[in-house]
A = this chain, B = another copy of it.
């Protein structure tokens, strides 16, 4: 069709490495595959020797998790024995159904059989995987250009690693968020790429800061102009912040202006749990959830970069790790055909196809649930994560006196400058608010998506220490060790600071040695453990700060 909106040619962005990937001669045979030829060419074992006659699974129903939270979740935690807490988060109805993948192909099985799934398979994914992923992307994300392509990968780490190889040359500078996922940098480092942090606030990466970096880029001084942004736009890791549509548009426009490719790593997209609502107001807000339909569900999610990408300059990474399970090692790219072809080449000499057994089990599950059922599952999951987020923040509010504060009034780093939108929760020692000049121990923004509560910690006059080898041990590191000794493992801020990767998390905007950061995940523990952990955290912090 003449009206088709095609991706712009971005071939100049391909790295030297990506250009050197060639189609293996053996892969050249694929054009003959549909033709029912006698297959003397390939080194395929006979499916008769695959020692799985059938594979099956018991799976929950798509509506296993309620959209209305159990009433007890809104009760004060302290007035209840721990019994119900243990099962609170996992309060599924417990009914299961059976899915089975037979060995032999059958008419109408859509390619879902062990003879296919256990054989060498397409790098782009088994046929039923491809079909599901394409429909899901179309219906949920509705990309803004027409010739977008999807192909499978083995999880977003595999995905981002391939994108880094696709785009980055040695000496290139990757743009990342001010705080970022260290494993993303770990993929860029071996290539010989560098990175530059773009300041963020409580709404995510700041377009004004990005513009400043790009406008002020000096090739002589700074090296080749940046061509790639790596971003986790929803429930950002580690800060938990979510980039809204307006910011996405503003950043995308800058990317058009400065010809930059966006790698959108979005594992937490379906964990958009909404703004934190204080416990006393929570009930009414929740009951409306059960009435949502699919269209309203989609409308309730912040649009992805695919919605603003008219040129095919976004490579989106989706994963089943957070919505099904990490151990399935399955996800997919959505991008232009040009990038898809090279990502396939890069994949065929590394991961090859994602595990076929896993694809078969995931697709069998999704087929049983149907598209609508999977959306129902995602909604149930979202409700669970909302319960967890709320519970975690509730626990913090029990341990501290927490005061909502405008961001501008909070000391410290990324939530401060110019960010009038964000309400920061400042936390004080309980009962200390009555005193003169009460001192906050920490501040945080309750996340509206993802898995993490990110905190600024105010250590006051706790001094640096010196290690045996003479290196400085900041209060942040001291506190991390203290907490671990007390039984709680956290991820300290310096893990996530790209620019001073091996030093402590001293944000550039605060020359105050007594500020630290930490990322706390509210997802893996049961309620009782979470509560105990927050208690230990609060007690250890109070003692550490001698407050």
Are A521 and B39 neighbours in the complex by a CB distance under 8 Å? yes
Q: Is A523 an interface residue (CB 8 A)?
A: yes
Closest chain B CB from A18 CB (angstroms): 8
Are B237 and A24 neighbours in the complex by a CB distance under 8 Å? no
Docked Cα-Cα span, A53 to B365, in Å, equals 12
Contact with B along A140-165 (1 / 0, CB 8 A): 00000000000000110110010001
Copies of this chain, tallied across the complex: 2
Contacts of A191 in B (CB 8 A): 17
Contacts of A198 in B (CB 8 A): none
Q: Which of B40, B346, B520 contacts A537 (CB 8 A)?
A: B40
Contact with B along A518-547 (1 / 0, CB 8 A): 011111111001101100110000000000
Are A60 and B56 neighbours in the complex by a CB distance under 8 Å? no
Known contacts A51-B377, A484-B37; A451/B329 CB under 8 A: no
Q: Is A421 an interface residue (CB 8 A)?
A: no
Q: Is A105 an interface residue (CB 8 A)?
A: no
**Residues from 38 to 83 in A contacting B, C-beta threshold 8 Å:** 38-46, 48-60, 64
Are A357 and B327 neighbours in the complex by a CB distance under 8 Å? yes
Contacts of A495 in B (CB 8 A): 25-26
Contacts of A57 in B (CB 8 A): 52-56
Give the interface segment out of A182-190, A218-226, A274-282.
A182-190
Q: Is A433 an interface residue (CB 8 A)?
A: no
Give the interface segment out of A118-126, A397-405, A434-442.
A118-126
Give the interface segment out of A88-96, A242-250, A465-473.
A88-96
Are A157 and B327 neighbours in the complex by a CB distance under 8 Å? no
Known contacts A39-B525, A157-B350; A17/B490 CB under 8 A: no
Are B381 and A49 neighbours in the complex by a CB distance under 8 Å? yes
Are A55 and B55 neighbours in the complex by a CB distance under 8 Å? yes
A contacts, CB < 8 Å to B = 17-18, 20-22, 24-26, 29, 32, 35-46, 48-60, 64, 89-90, 92, 96, 114, 117-121, 154-155, 157-158, 161, 165, 182-183, 186-187, 189-192, 237, 321-322, 324-330, 346, 348-358, 361, 365, 377, 381, 384, 451-452, 484, 487-491, 494-496, 501, 519-526, 529-530, 532-533, 536-537
A26-B183, A53-B60 known; 16 new pairs, CB 8 Å cut-off, are: A22-B189, A37-B484, A37-B487, A38-B488, A40-B489, A43-B521, A50-B325, A51-B365, A119-B326, A154-B154, A154-B355, A157-B350, A328-B355, A328-B356, A329-B353, A329-B356
- Please list 13 pairs of residues, one from A and one from B, whose beta carbons are closer than 8 Å in the complex, sorted by A's number: A21-B189, A26-B182, A39-B521, A40-B491, A40-B525, A45-B524, A49-B90, A51-B60, A51-B365, A55-B361, A154-B154, A327-B353, A358-B358
